[in-house]
Structure 1
Amino acid sequence: MQDPLAAISQMEEVDFIALFSSIYEHSTWVAEELWRQKVEHPSEYFDSIDKIKDTMADIVEQSTDEQKLILLRAHPDLAGKAALAGELTHASTSEQAGAGLDQCSEEELAYFLQLNDTYREKFGFPFIMAVKGATKDQILTGFEARTPNDWQTEFDRAMSEVHKIASFRLADL
């Protein structure tokens, strides 16, 4: 059986970008930059998943605040309208279902929608939480605890959560 990391290093550009484009939600630019770094330094970044994770996180962190905000806004609301319409990515659908967000009562769903709207109105991006392993109650507690934060605190926290989500998704590859 071939080493998966060796297989990654042998991939063609289109397959490589397709594989890594889902790690950061609707942000193919991260996978494209990872490819550029792979081409420039073929042996440096692809001998462990941790190095790939760190490199992708560095790409995001070295981007502009505007790019980061676009990345945050690419994430769906938790138990939100996109979920109800079946418009989530496969990864987001699986993550939200794992937290039980696909089984909300009408009251819970209405509360989630209210929290999503309040949060998005205040911060200009959706509430982001790495929900893998979390319960609905933990997510609700997170909403309630974080909504009073100031914009910069919440922007930084959302970026931290995005990196956690990316780490979970890489581990699932």
Structure 2
Amino acid sequence: MSAAEKAAFVARYGGIYEHSSWVAERAWELLGGSGNAAEIAATLAHCVDVATDAEKRRLICAHPDLAGRAAVRGELTAESSGEQASAGIDQCTAEEFARFQKLNDRYKEKFGFPFVMAVRGSNRHAILAAFEERLQNDAEAEFARALSEIHKIARLRLAVQLAQKETEA
């Protein structure tokens, strides 16, 4: 396979895992650039699962806070912005926004990484409740939960991307 084909693969799938194109680069090596949607999703997830703990932590930390300062400044990726909007996070009241800020800070202080949740199809009330619930977990459980949520986000992003490709064809 050519360098151009690898670059195209990474360009296409590099955003599936937030700011972590290394996942797509490693998947390319395993897939050789071919595979159906299920194989691509499984291979991307496998590349994360076998990564070092430090790489996994960087992946978790690449995710923005929900209703965080990056959203306010308009600095989210298109995918994150759409996901947060689909859950109504962009429609928070001032009180809800302040609660998100407080929970984001408490969570990061306790665990050392941002709260990650696959929010597509959820709503801000359920997300705030999940925040409160997950703050009761220990660090090991939350590290595993964050990775599980990241895999959900990736599967949803891949499905959206593939659906868009089908409508363009």
Q: Note the C-alpha offset of 1:38.
A: 2.6
1:19 aligns with 2:7: no
Q: In the alignment, which residue of structure 2 is the partner of 1:7? A: none
CA offsets, 1:20-52, max 9 Å, x none?
01100000100111111233xx65xx0x21111
Count residues with an aligned counterpart.
158
Q: In the alignment, which residue of structure 1 is the partner of 2:88? A: 100
How do residues 36-115 of structure 1 correspond to structure 2 at under 5 angstroms?
A: 36-39=29-32, 46=35, 48-115=36-103
Q: Note the C-alpha offset of 1:99.
A: 0.3
Q: Could you tell me the TM-score, scaled by structure 2's length?
A: 0.91
Partner Cα separation in structure 1 for residue 57 and residue 151 of structure 2: 14
Give runs of ≥4 in structure 1 deviating > 2 Å. none
Alignment RMSD (CA, Å): 1.1
Q: In the alignment, which residue of structure 1 is the partner of 2:114? A: 126
Counterpart code for 1:95 = E
CA offsets, 1:76-101, max 9 Å, x none?
00000100110000000000000001
Q: In the alignment, which residue of structure 2 is the partner of 1:34? A: 27
Partner Cα separation in structure 2 for residue 38 and residue 147 of structure 1: 38
Partner Cα separation in structure 2 for residue 150 and residue 17 of structure 1: 35
Where 1:169 maps in the other structure, the secondary structure is helix
Partner Cα separation in structure 2 for residue 155 and residue 132 of structure 1: 20
Where 1:12 maps in the other structure, the secondary structure is helix
Q: In the alignment, which residue of structure 2 is the partner of 1:116? A: 104
Q: In the alignment, which residue of structure 2 is the partner of 1:136? A: 124
Partner Cα separation in structure 1 for residue 113 and residue 14 of structure 2: 21
Counterpart code for 1:31 = A
8 Å CA contact 2:115–2:131 kept in 1: the answer is yes
Q: Could you tell me the TM-score, scaled by structure 1's length?
A: 0.89
